[in-house]
């Protein structure tokens, strides 16, 4: 783990975009290509107007003995030529708009998925240590916490059928509204 870092985050399923966010402004567009049979993704980050802000190749995984909030993360930042070469590798693509929401001093990344996964909204919040992650409660704009649910991780979502994702989304949101 010389170059990797631990990312401590909690993740939440949202029924709608929080009122504080404008769906047409203040986002970055993210296209993730998950490379089959690896723990790698190629990420393309663009501004609202389509300008490329960043390319990165990321290795992201969890170990069997780590807390559910921990992910091992290694990023390699790429120039355009490197990214164009890696784009030739086939993979499963996810597209989303990412908004930043400050709620009670915590910064949430709110991902609104596009294309076949339209309707899926996930918020995540990173923490500097385990104590802060444990002390944080589910925000009022979230329906349910999905930190420990592997179904809602990017690599799994990328290879799942849209029908399975929407069925799971309905199941999770309906269950929370019935309780």
Give 1-57 pLDDT, tens digit per residue.
789 999 999 999 999 999 999 999 999 999 999 999 999 999 999 999 999 999 999
Interacting residues of 71 by C-beta distance below 8 A, sequence separation 6+: 6, 7, 9, 60, 61, 62
Mind listing the domains of the chain with CATH numbers?
A: 5-178 (2.40.320.10)
Position 175 scores a pLDDT of: 52
Neighbours of 45 (CB within 10 A): 16
Interacting residues of 150 by C-beta distance below 8 A, sequence separation 6+: 156
In whole angstroms, give the CA distance from residue 179 to residue 177: 6
Position 2 scores a pLDDT of: 85
Name the 3-class secondary structure at 62. coil
pLDDT digits (tens, 9 = 90+) for 106-150: 999 999 999 999 999 999 999 999 999 999 999 999 999 999 999
Q: Which helix (H) or strand (E) holds 82?
A: helix 80-86
In whole angstroms, give the CA distance from residue 157 to residue 165: 7
Strands (E), the chain: 5-14, 27-34, 40-46, 52-61, 70-78, 92-103, 106-113, 121-127, 144-145
Average pLDDT on 60-79 reads 94
Position 178 scores a pLDDT of: 41
pLDDT digits (tens, 9 = 90+) for 103-117: 999 999 999 999 999
Q: What is the pTM of this model?
A: 0.93
Q: What is the DSSP letter of 12?
A: E
In the predicted model, is pLDDT for residue 70 greater than 50?
yes
Position 12 scores a pLDDT of: 98
Average pLDDT on 56-60 reads 97
């Amino acid at each position: 783990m010389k170059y990797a870092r631990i990312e401590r985050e909690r993740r939440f399923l949202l029924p709608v975009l929080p009122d504080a966010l404008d769906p047409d402004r203040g986002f970055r567009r993210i296209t993730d290509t998950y490379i089959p049979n690896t723990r790698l993704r190629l990420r393309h980050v663009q501004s609202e107007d389509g300008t490329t802000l960043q390319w990165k190749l990321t290795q992201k995984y969890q170990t069997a003995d780590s807390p559910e909030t921990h992910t091992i993360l290694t990023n390699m930042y790429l120039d355009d030529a490197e990214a164009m070469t890696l784009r030739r590798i086939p993979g499963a693509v996810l597209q989303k708009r990412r908004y930043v929401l400050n709620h009670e001093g915590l910064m949430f990344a709110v991902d609104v998925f596009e294309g076949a996964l339209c309707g899926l909204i996930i918020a995540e919040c990173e923490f500097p240590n385990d104590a802060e992650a444990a002390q944080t409660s589910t925000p009022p704009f979230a329906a349910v916490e999905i930190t420990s649910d592997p179904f809602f991780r990017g690599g799994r979502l990328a290879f799942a059928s849209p029908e399975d994702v929407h069925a799971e989304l309905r199941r999770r949101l309906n269950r929370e509204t019935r309780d």
